[in-house]
Structures are given as structure tokens and as C-alpha cells.
């Protein structure tokens, strides 16, 4: 799966997904500090699903009707780095086809996917 990892995503998650052969552009490495509109534009340009911990993207998608290839919102507070890596990797492995063109929320216990 091709992903754009927002700068709020922990680097160990990015590294783990790369080790599983996911193509990832990490905003913290390429364009730190860019605003949400530019992150979303980059995801559209790259035709990639956006991986983010930032709930502001929900407003951009649902209220402002921004176009996206998909967003995966991570809500993983309280998990260790290793648990976060495994949770994200398993969610993508098990649901990647459903996550394209959807707003997905991944928590430590659930995955909710809402088609856009």
C-alpha cells in the first residue's frame, strides 16, 4: 500500500511498515512543518492513503469535502511502540482494500472504516 505518513506518526511505525514493503513518504523527512492542506494535496498527488494521528483531517474530508484516496486515523494512546507497530501493520494487512477511498479509525481494540 502506498502511504503518506503525517509528521505526527512515530518513526518506528514508519520504519516497521517500510520493512513490510509498504511505500511510504514520511512528511517529517520530506517537508516538516507543512500545513494539513498541503499534506492532503501531497497524498492526492501521490495517490496515497494518508496515515495520521491528527483529527483535523476529518474536518477537511467531511465538512470541507476535500478529495482523498483514503485516511487512516490512528488513536493508539496507551500502547507501547511495539504494540503500535503491530496494530497498524495488522490493520493495514487485514483491511487495506477497504481503506482505499475511506476514512478509517484504528484504535487498540477496533477498526472503523467509513467509505467516502
pTM value is 0.93
Q: For the chain, list residues with pLDDT below 50.
A: none
In angstroms, the first-to-last Cα distance of the chain is 18
At the topology level, CATH places domain 2-115 in: Rossmann fold (3.40.50)
What is the reported pLDDT for 70? 94
Q: Are 81 and 36 in contact (CB under 8 A)?
A: no
Quick one: pLDDT at residue 62?
77
Closest-CA residue to 72 (of 46, 45, 48, 42): 48
Phi, psi of 49, rounded to the nearest 5 degrees: -85, 135
Task: Please report, for the chain, the start and end positions of each structural domain, with discontinuous segments joined by +.
Answer: 2-115
Amino acid at each position: 500500500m502506498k502511504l503518506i505518513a503525517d509528521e505526527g506518526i512515530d518513526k518506528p511505525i514508519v520504519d516497521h511498515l517500510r520493512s513490510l514493503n509498504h511505500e511510504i513518504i514520511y512528511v517529517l523527512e520530506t517537508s516538516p512543518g507543512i500545513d494539513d492542506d498541503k499534506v492532503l494535496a501531497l497524498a492526492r498527488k501521490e495517490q496515497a492513503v494518508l496515515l495520521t494521528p491528527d483529527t483535523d483531517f476529518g474536518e477537511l474530508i467531511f465538512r470541507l469535502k476535500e478529495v482523498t484516496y483514503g485516511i487512516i486515523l490512528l488513536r493508539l494512546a496507551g500502547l507501547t511502540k511495539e504494540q503500535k507497530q503491530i496494530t497498524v501493520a495488522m490493520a493495514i494487512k487485514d483491511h487495506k482494500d477497504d481503506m482505499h477511498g475511506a476514512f478509517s479509525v484504528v484504535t487498540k481494540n477496533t477498526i472503523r472504516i467509513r467509505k467516502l
